[in-house]
Structure 1
């Protein structure tokens, strides 16, 4: 991977989310995060979940810091819509518009339960495709809320179907440990999970490498810290323009150089 480090903040958006077919309930929630790399603030993200009638909508936004614009400007928006059916919610549709440096991706997906298909469309080329519906299934925004609703037991794995780039991916999530952490939003007892995001995707949401999420160890399971490491990010060396932002002690710590962190700083939850 050769993208500037500022793009790494995009990887963190998988953390956020919406309901499960069996367990979800209406939620009004706003989560605000600060994104940092090597201790430097590189962006912010906001997750807002609203409920109107039988529809649950989750909006995810991420923006890079103004100072990073000459290197790599980021302005992303994702929207996931769920519909109530039976005891909970299930996926209705998903739309994403990502602008990352010189790249942009604009696509949508919807569920057709009559034909038991996922329908996809590239909103730039208008190319269409479809895939078989396997439920319960979630888009990149709504997938974590599923995890926030199911019981998590340390040492046991959970699996979730994630819909992305025209196909369905089976993602294994390891439940690692319990840990108390401090954030600007407070001190939290958490349960730590690690999704195996070794899947194909456009943009940088699912870059290969460890992803770790700290959820509050309570019924809400609010994501309070998310860390993403991109292995071999700087295998060809650290670009000169990044070296000026990082001291030698950081440059010599490759795991730290390859890791982005999102930390909860406030909101309503």
Structure 2
């Protein structure tokens, strides 16, 4: 049986940037600013079908919209079919980052996973070099508040998917970024591995395959994760895959809406 409670955290990118090769014990690297001339979408929705092994497991939509200097990312993620009957998941995620620097402004989530219902908000205060987390369990009504030190600029696990698109991608090279993950800052290496032609329900794309890795995080030493970005100026993520110890999950782009 699929461990469905682990499906949607991946959907939102919570484990997209955790693996097994960065240097978590060393100071976090600086966040490289977006490449000069790169344009984040003014308004766009990317829709994906999610499969676990050969079975339909979920549907996911990423909506991007500009708001002043911020790029806002909103995600809806829901299980479907047999997976929904076994363990219903309906999650909502939001993040925002500064388009000129890549620095995350905030990250929040509202999760319904079986009987578990939790809302959380994470805010980054760069003047204080602090991240502030507020979390409420809607079932037990227990609320907790945490804070943690951060570098001068970090990305979060949702914004990072689209921030990474703003970086030059040269096969055989890599770039690093500090990721705010579970109230810790994890150095992440983005390895640009190669070019591939990828077929999705939305069409066939020439892509660049990128593997994010890190020494710490949600799925440390449990598998591999890849993202396929279009091999053009847009760097759209058209496919994502997590090969974990309990199975492989694949996201395939089904449609792009300019709205």
How far apart, CA to CA, are the structure 1 residues paired with 2:117 and 2:216? 19
Deviation at 1:5, TM superposition (A): 4.3
Deviation at 1:147, TM superposition (A): 1.1
Equivalent residue for 2:242, pick from 207, 220, 228: 228
The answer to which of 153-162 and 23-32 deviates more is 23-32
Q: Secondary structure at the match of 1:69?
A: helix
- How large is the Cα RMSD of the aligned pairs? 2.5
5+ residue gaps, structure 2, are 18-30
How far apart, CA to CA, are the structure 1 residues paired with 2:194 and 2:121? 36
Q: Secondary structure at the match of 1:121?
A: strand
Deviation at 1:70, TM superposition (A): 3.0
5+ residue gaps, structure 1, are 234-257
How far apart, CA to CA, are the structure 2 residues paired with 1:81 and 1:145? 11
Report which of the two structures shows the higher radius of gyration computed on alpha carbons. Answer: 1
Q: How many residue pairs align between the two structures? A: 235
Hey, what does 1:70 align to over in structure 2? 85
How far apart, CA to CA, are the structure 2 residues paired with 1:209 and 1:80? 26
Equivalent residue for 1:261, pick from 247, 250, 255: 250
CA change 1:88–1:167 in 2 (3 A) is closer
Maintained 8 Å contact 1:174/1:193: yes
Hey, what does 1:158 align to over in structure 2? 175
How far apart, CA to CA, are the structure 2 residues paired with 1:259 and 1:26? 30
Maintained 8 Å contact 1:5/1:37: no
Hey, what does 2:151 align to over in structure 1? 134
Which is richer in strand?
2
Output aligned runs, 1:38-57, within 5 Å: 38-57=53-72
Equivalent residue for 2:161, pick from 140, 144, 149: 144
Deviation at 1:37, TM superposition (A): 1.7
Higher relative contact order (CA 8 A, sep 6+): 2
Output aligned runs, 1:187-202, within 5 Å: 187-196=204-213, 199-201=216-218
How far apart, CA to CA, are the structure 2 residues paired with 1:26 and 1:185? 20
Equivalent residue for 1:182, pick from 199, 213, 234: 199
How far apart, CA to CA, are the structure 1 residues paired with 2:143 and 2:217? 20
User: Would you say 1:9 and 2:14 are equivalent positions?
Assistant: no
How far apart, CA to CA, are the structure 1 residues paired with 2:70 and 2:213? 29
